Amino acid sequence: MTADVGANAPDFELESDAGARMGLRDFEGEWLVLYFYPRDNTPGCTREAQEFTKAAPRLRKLGARVAGVSRDSVKSHCSFRDKISIGFPLLSDPGLIAHKSYSAWGEKLMYGKRIEGALRTTFLIAPNGRIAQVWRNVRVDGHADAVVAALTAASTTGGAAPAKGAAAAAPRAVKVKGPATPAAKATKGKVAKTSAAKAKTSKAKRRTRARRT
């Protein structure tokens, strides 16, 4: 399964900072902002969590909840949450199950070296369980505001993302001429002879009128 726009969001079940296991079922019927980040307590991840915490009231008004995912332990998540007063669940994925399901784990360049690690990625999941929008290679500053704007636009246009692989509009019908049948050829010949006879009669009448004058 590819975690892309229009696809069903991959299911997961991860332990949260509250000690309970959470999955997509816990957000059923709601918009979900699911974001993957590299590590607790790092500068970029701290700013991102603070921005989403600040944006959370606006997101809730639009019918959305937020959840962050990283490889960190539940203990680390609790410390991170308490340190900067994060206002949404943090999910622990040490086995990278959700990361890989959402293509949020892979090769990246860090300090000039190519390494494997978490790819900062955000998914906007619609109430019907389909992925409405994806942000990959996220730049932290201003990102939460961009998610709010996208959710506002999605809400005003009806919300749910189109089904992946939905049928395209049917092409216009085109009439194709097949080979003429014997009957069609005979009919065409009769029409041609009748037209020629009419033309000959009309020409004769014109000559007669011309002589009389």
Cβ neighbours of residue 158 closer than 8 Å, sequence gap 6 or more: none
CATH of residue 131's domain is 3.40.30.10
Q: Active site residue: 45, 64, 78, 126, which one?
A: 45
Do the beta carbons of residue 77 and residue 83 sit within 8 Å?
no
Is the residue at 111 inside a domain?
yes
Confidence (pTM): 0.73
Instruction: For residue 48, count other CB atoms closer than 10 A to its CB.
Output: 23
DSSP of 57-82: HHHHHTTEEEEEEESS-HHHHHHHHH
Parts of the chain with a pLDDT under 50 = 160-181, 183-187, 191, 210, 212-213
Instruction: Say yes or no: 83 and 186 in one domain.
Output: no
pLDDT tens digits for 162-172?
A: 443 333 333 33
Instruction: Say yes or no: 19 and 53 in one domain.
Output: yes
Instruction: Say yes or no: 152 and 187 in one domain.
Output: no
Beta bridge partners of 13: 23
Known active-site residue 45: yes
Instruction: Say yes or no: 129 and 186 in one domain.
Output: no
What per-residue confidence (pLDDT) applies to 196? Answer: 55
Instruction: Say yes or no: 192 and 128 in one domain.
Output: no
Is the residue at 8 inside a domain?
no
Instruction: Say yes or no: 33 and 130 in one domain.
Output: yes
Domain that includes residue 105, residue range:
13-156
Instruction: Say yes or no: 42 and 112 in one domain.
Output: yes
Is the residue at 100 inside a domain?
yes
Instruction: Say yes or no: 185 and 80 in one domain.
Output: no
Is the residue at 171 inside a domain?
no
Cβ neighbours of residue 122 closer than 8 Å, sequence gap 6 or more: 33, 34, 35, 36, 134, 135, 138, 143, 147
Do the beta carbons of residue 84 and residue 52 sit within 8 Å?
no
What per-residue confidence (pLDDT) applies to 173? Answer: 33
Is the residue at 161 inside a domain?
no
What per-residue confidence (pLDDT) applies to 128? Answer: 94
What per-residue confidence (pLDDT) applies to 97? Answer: 96
